[in-house]
Amino acid sequence: MKTKAKHLQVTIDRFDGESHYQTTHEVPTRDNQTVLDVVTWIQQHDDPTLSYRFACRVGMCGSCAMNINGEPKWSCRTHVNKVVDSGLKLTISPLRNMPILRDLSVDMTQFFDKWTQAVGYFVPTKTKDDPLPAILPDSRDRAKANQSIECINCGICYSACDVVAANDAYLGPAALNRAWTLMNDERDGGSKERLEAVSSDAGCHNCHSQHGCSTYCPNLLAPATSIAGLKRQTLLNVLPWGSRDD
């Protein structure tokens, strides 16, 4: 292959717990090379201290997200030839809006705490002795929930969001997206407290519909649309005649 002789010029934003700096690396190109392959090559051949996260390598686990040439992406499913131009330059930095632990590994504690704050967990209404409720796949609520499930908790939307960047307390697109799926879950009984949580100062009304989240979600979810749903629901809730969004 003629591409084999070429080298990528990779710049990585580093943090060692005390200072921020950059390192540059020359990485041989390969066919079908992903950005995760590049980072792994650097750690194995050039700098064993480079810290980053991954697990599944196939876009399931959501642990490998980073900023690639300035855009948040999942590194395991981002092909190098899709993000570099003829200059073969690649810039890699950690996700935004989360404290950096080391190099490309960020602390996602607050990100996940916000899911809890948004009541992004299932609130059961029945016990295991009750019969399972039948939810038809084409029922209205199921169809609405459908658009926003399959989130892999990668934090890409959270990193893309400028409102999170401006307001540390904002729950952010992932947690609000999860809250919206639960609002449409017939079996769930937490709507009231969830609606209160998402209409708090930190909640859905912070969103300016910039659609950074929906633009970058690797699973093609639309958190911004879910947030619009929450905004409608909170609005309907204060109107005397409205209670359900349908």
Work out how close the CB of 218 gets to ligand FES at its nearest, in angstroms, rounded to a whole number.
Answer: 8
Partner from another protein, ligand FES, ligand SF4, none binding residue 221, C-beta < 5-8 Å depending on class: ligand SF4
Q: What does 155 interact with, of ligand SF4, another protein, ligand FES, none (CB < 5 to 8 A by kind)?
A: ligand SF4
Closest separation between CB of residue 135 and another protein, Å? 20
Q: Summarize as ranges the residues that interact with ligand FES (CB under 6 A).
A: 54-57, 59-64, 74, 76
What SS3 state is found at 194? helix
Number of residues that bind ligand SF4 (CB under 6 A): 26
Per CB under 6 A, the segment of 11-19, 173-181, 184-192, 232-240 that binds ligand SF4 is 173-181
Query: What is the contact mask toward another protein in residues 30 to 69, using x (rule: CB under 8 A)?
Result: -------------------------------------x-x
Give the Cα separation of 105 and 101 in Å (integer): 6
Largest pairwise CA distance in the chain: 70
Strands 71-74 and 89-93: unpaired
Integer CA distances (angstroms), 29 to 38, 41, 47, 64, 131, in order? 8, 10, 17, 20, 56
d(CA 100, CA 106): 4
H or E segment to which residue 212 belongs = helix 212-216
125 binds ligand SF4 (CB under 6 A): no
SS3 label, residue 235: helix
| Residue 160 binds another protein (CB under 8 A) | yes
Instruction: Locate 169 and state its tokens.
Output: 């307390």
User: What residues line the site for another protein (CB under 8 A)?
Assistant: 67, 69-72, 91, 96, 159-160, 162, 208-212, 215-216, 225, 228-229, 231-232, 235
